[in-house]
A and B are shown apart, each in its own frame.
Chain A
Amino acid sequence: MSRRNTKLSHISIPELSLVLLIGPSGAGKSTFARKFFKSTEVISSDVCRGLISDDENNQAVSADAFEVVRFIAAKRLKLGLLTVIDATNVQPESRKEWVRLAREYHVLPVAIVLNMPERVCQDRNVLRTDRNFGAHVIPQQIGQLKRGLRGLREEGFRHIFEMRSEEDVAMLETITRTPLYNNKKEEHGPFDIIGDVHGCYDELCTLLHTLGYQLDKENATLISAATTTTADGYTLIRKPVFVGDLVDRGPKSPQVLRLVMNMVGNGQALCVPGNHDAKLLRYLNGKNVQLRHGLEQTVAQLAGETPAFLESVKSFIDGLVSHYVLDDGKLVVAHAGLKESMQGRGSGAVREFCLYGETTGETDEFGLPVRYNWALEYKGRAMVVYGHTPVPVAQWLNNTIDIDTGCVFGASLTALRYPERELVSVPALEEYAVPARPIGYNAESTLSVQQQYDGVLDIADFTGKQILETRYSHNITIREENNIAALEVMSRFAVNPKWLIYLPPTMSPAETSQEPGMLENPAEGLQYFRDAGITKVICETKHMGSRAVVIVCRDEAAAAARFGVTGEGNGIVYTRTGRAFFTDKQMEQAFIARINTALINTGFYESFDTDWVCLDAELMPWSAKAQALLQHQYAAVGAAAGHALPAVMNALQQAVSNGAPAQALLDKYSQRLGQTTRYAAAYRQYCWPVNELSDYKLAPFHIMATEGKTYFDKDHEWHMSAIKNICAGDKQILLATPYLLVDIGDAESEKAAITWWEQLTAAGGEGMVIKPYTFLSKDAKGLIQPAIKIRGKEYLRIIYGPEYDAEENLARLRSRKLSGKRSLALREFALGLEALERFVNKEPLQLVHRCVFAILALESEAVDPRL
Chain B
Amino acid sequence: MLLTITTKRYPATDLGYLLHKHPAKVQTVTLTAGSAHIFYPEATDQSCTAALLLDIDPVRLVRGNNGPADFVLEQYVNDRPYVASSFMSAAIAQAYSSAMNGRCKDKPHLVDEAIPFEINLSVLPVKGGEALLREFFEPLGYDITVQSHLLDEQFPEWGQSRYFNVTLRHTLPLKTILSQLYILIPVCDNDKHYFIGGHEIEKLMEKGKGWLDTHPAKELITRRYLRYIGPLAKEALGMIMKDEVLPVEEKQPKDKIRLHDLRLQTVREILLELNVATVADMGCGEGKLLRLLMEKPAFKKILGMDVSYHALEIAQSKLKMDRLPEMQRARLQLVQGALTYRDKRLSGFDAGVLVEVIEHLDEPRLAALEKVVFEYARPQYVIITTVNAEYNVLYEKLDSGAFRHTDHRFEWTRSQFATWGDRVATQFGYEVSYRPLGETDEVLGGPSQLALFKRS
Contact = CB atoms under 8 A, between A and B. Distances in A.
Interface of A: 455-460, 462-463, 484-485, 487-488, 490-492, 495-496, 567-568, 580, 630-631, 633-645, 647-648, 650-652, 654-655, 658-662, 665, 668-669, 676, 680, 684, 687, 689, 798-804, 809, 812-813, 862-866
Nearest to B341: A459
Contacts of B158: 630-631, 635
A809 B62 CA distance: 12
B83 interface: yes
Given A647-B120, A651-B51, A456 B371 contact: yes
B284 to A, nearest CB: 14
A669 B165 CA distance: 18
Given A492-B307, A662-B39, 17 more contacts: A456-B341, A488-B307, A490-B338, A496-B365, A633-B77, A635-B155, A636-B79, A636-B151, A640-B163, A641-B82, A643-B123, A644-B82, A647-B122, A652-B53, A684-B154, A804-B58, A809-B59
Contacts of B364: 496, 567-568
A772 B76 CA distance: 31
Contact of A863 (B71, B122, B307, B367): B71
B53 to A, nearest CB: 6
B40 A660 contact: yes
A458 B343 CA distance: 6
B218 interface: no
Contacts of B40: 655, 658, 660
A476 to B, nearest CB: 21
Contact of B163 (A639, A862, A863): A639
Contact of B337 (A459, A485, A802): A459
Contacts of B41: 650-652, 654-655, 658, 660
A648 B53 contact: yes
B58 A803 contact: yes
B31 to A, nearest CB: 16
A687 B362 CA distance: 28
A632 B59 CA distance: 20
Given A809-B58, A812-B59, A640 B367 contact: no
Which among B78, B82, B309 has the highest number of chain A CB atoms within 10 Å?
A: B82
Given A492-B307, A662-B26, A639 B371 contact: no
A865 B309 contact: no
B77 A665 contact: no
A492 B43 CA distance: 61
Contacts of B154: 684
Contacts of A455: 367-368, 371
B24 A660 contact: yes
A794 B252 CA distance: 46
A650 B63 CA distance: 31
Contacts of B329: none
Majority-rule SS of B interface residues? mixed
A462 B343 CA distance: 11
A463 B63 CA distance: 34
Given A633-B74, A645-B82, A801-B76, A638 B152 contact: yes
A495 B368 CA distance: 12
A639 B161 contact: yes
A866 B163 contact: no
B360 interface: yes
A631 B151 contact: yes
Contacts of B308: 488
A631 B154 CA distance: 12
A363 B360 CA distance: 41
Which among B41, B43, B63, B365 has the highest number of chain A CB atoms within 10 Å?
A: B41
28 contacts: A456-B376, A458-B341, A487-B307, A488-B308, A495-B362, A580-B362, A636-B79, A637-B77, A639-B151, A639-B161, A639-B163, A640-B83, A644-B2, A644-B82, A647-B2, A648-B1, A648-B53, A651-B51, A655-B39, A655-B41, A660-B40, A665-B37, A684-B155, A798-B77, A801-B76, A809-B59, A812-B59, A865-B72
A491 B368 CA distance: 11
Nearest to A565: B364
Given A639-B163, A658-B41, A866-B76, A644 B151 contact: no
B424 to A, nearest CB: 15
B4 to A, nearest CB: 6
Interface in B298-336: 307-309, 336
Given A459-B338, A680-B152, A635 B58 contact: no
B69 interface: yes
Contacts of A484: 309, 336
Interface residues of B, number: 71
Majority-rule SS of A interface residues? helix
Contacts of A802: 58, 77
B157 interface: yes
Interface in B351-385: 360, 362, 364-365, 367-368, 371-372, 376
Contacts of A460: 343-344
A865 B71 contact: yes
Nearest to B360: A492
A496 B340 CA distance: 10
B134 interface: no
Contacts of A492: 307, 338, 360, 407
B79 A637 contact: yes
Contacts of A659: 24
A589 to B, nearest CB: 13
A641 B151 CA distance: 11
B59 A689 contact: no
A652 B338 CA distance: 59
A680 B40 CA distance: 30
Contacts of B58: 801-804, 809
Nearest to A676: B82
Nearest to B160: A639
A184 B338 CA distance: 43
A636 B162 contact: yes
Contacts of A648: 1-2, 53, 122
Interface in B38-64: 39-43, 49, 51, 53, 55, 58-59, 63
A345 B160 CA distance: 73
Contacts of B344: 458, 460
A631 B43 CA distance: 40
A813 B82 contact: no
A866 B71 CA distance: 9
A639 B79 CA distance: 9
Nearest to A679: B77
A565 to B, nearest CB: 9
A648 B56 CA distance: 14
Nearest to A492: B307
A798 B71 CA distance: 16
A687 B157 CA distance: 12
B165 A799 contact: no
A665 B71 CA distance: 32
A644 B4 contact: no
Contacts of A462: 341
A764 to B, nearest CB: 14
Contacts of A647: 2, 120, 122-123, 165
B150 interface: yes
B344 to A, nearest CB: 7
B341 A801 contact: no
B372 A651 contact: no
Contacts of A635: 151-152, 155, 158, 161
A661 B26 contact: yes
Contacts of A864: 71
A511 to B, nearest CB: 20
Contact of A862 (B4, B68, B73, B81): B68
Given A487-B336, A496-B364, A636 B161 contact: yes
A487 B82 contact: no
Contacts of B155: 635, 684, 687, 689
Interface in B137-162: 149-152, 154-155, 157-159, 161-162
Nearest to A866: B76
A687 B372 CA distance: 42
